[in-house]
Amino acid sequence: MMNRLEALKSMTTVVADTGDFQAIIDYRPQDATTNPSLLYKAAQMPAYRELVEDAVLHGTRHGGGDSQAQARLTMDKLAVNFGTEILKVVPGRVSTEIDARLSFDTEGTVRRAEALVELYDQAGIDARERVLFKIASTWEGIRAAERLERQGIHCNLTLLFGFAQAVACADAGVTLISPFVGRILDWYKKAENVAGYPADEDPGVRSVTRIYNYYKRHDYPTVVMGASFRNLDEILELAGCDYLTISPALLGELASTEGEVPRRLDPDRARALDIPRVGYDEIGFRWELNEDAMATEKLAEGIRLFTADTLKLERFAREINQSA
């Protein structure tokens, strides 16, 4: 009998949610995702010191004595350095995060993605084929992704907690979305003062299931990649989802247990459902998001947390520069 990780891979593309290359090698995922939190953790590992030092040198050389420009260029180069190394050990794509401080800046997001594409090109990577650019699922972020997709620059819309966000992303033609599971669970556990939920009643699982069924029912090509898992049961309840991005710890649990993994999400079943098609202009989108307290709060919190880790990463890079 195969282990549960291999069983899951038979119906879902498994993605490693880490910046640690060794963990990626161990579990042989198709793709990998990174974010500022994961990069900050990986950047402090001695094994990756050279990548950080190279990024700092790039920022210093090209920043023109402007400390803010140096910090921005260092962060961009660091993301590309890690992405380039990850692409040596995954056959598919890596997701590289756009600075969360640009979450409400459409033009800034487009420019930053274009700059990252250029850096990847300089590193010998065809970013249009092998990189997804992670952008927060704000109205401004979705509009930026729409423009980038028209240029052949593919996007992963992250920090997605609400149905309106998912609908707007699909209508914008984005390549992939990352609806969060565990963070939705966290919010409901606190709001409803409960210790947990049965796996099939987990609010995060239900959210991703609803989005998946809507996309399949209306033939959207946008890939649904469940993210942010708190336990194995959440993953198993979403077996059959297009993609799932999973931490090394949970990948290890899947790999170390044998057993069947029943398919929970199925495109044919979804296409048979009676689900009306909806759409949102900017006013409607903002209203629906505002009406969803969980999505509003978790989106704002997620942007703040990613920004905080970006700032920590910048400080860490400055310390390395000063000690050089």
User: Interior CA angle at 30 toward 122 and 109, to 5°?
Assistant: 45
245 falls within a domain: yes
Q: In the Cβ-directed half-sphere of 188, how many Cα atoms lie within 13 Å?
A: 17
CA dist list (Å): 237 to 24, 152, 203, 209, 225 = 23, 33, 12, 9, 14
Decide if 176 contacts 150 (C-beta within 8 A). no
Asked if 216 is an active-site residue, the reply is no
How confident is the model at residue 66, as a pLDDT? Answer: 84
Q: Which helix (H) or strand (E) holds 68?
A: helix 67-86
Contacts of 252 (CB under 8 A, 6+ apart): 27
The residue type at 106? T
Q: Confirm whether 219 is domain-assigned.
A: yes
Q: Which of 9, 77, 134, 298 is catalytic?
A: 134
The verdict on residue 70 lying in a domain is no
CATH of the domain at 238: 3.20.20.70
pTM beyond cutoff 0.85: yes
Residue 275 maps to a domain: yes
Specify the number of domains making up the chain: 1
Per-residue pLDDT of the chain (324 residues), as tens digits, is 899 999 999 999 999 999 998 889 999 999 999 998 889 898 889 999 999 999 999 999 998 888 888 889 999 999 999 999 999 999 999 999 999 999 999 999 999 999 999 999 999 999 999 999 999 999 999 999 999 999 999 999 999 999 999 999 999 999 999 999 999 999 999 999 999 999 999 999 999 999 999 999 999 999 999 999 999 999 999 999 999 999 999 999 999 999 999 999 999 999 999 999 999 999 999 999 999 999 999 999 999 999 999 999 889 888 877 775
Residue-number span of the structural domain to which 260 is assigned = 4-31+98-308
- The per-residue pLDDT for 268 is 98
Q: Is 50 within a domain?
A: no
Domain assignment present for 66: no
Task: Establish if 221 belongs to a structural domain.
Answer: yes
Q: How many CB atoms lie within 10 A of CB 224?
A: 27
Q: Return d(Cα 255, Cα 270) in angstroms, integer.
A: 29
pLDDT at 247: 97
DSSP calls for 130-167: HEEEEEE-SHHHHHHHHHHHHTT--EEEEEE-SHHHHH
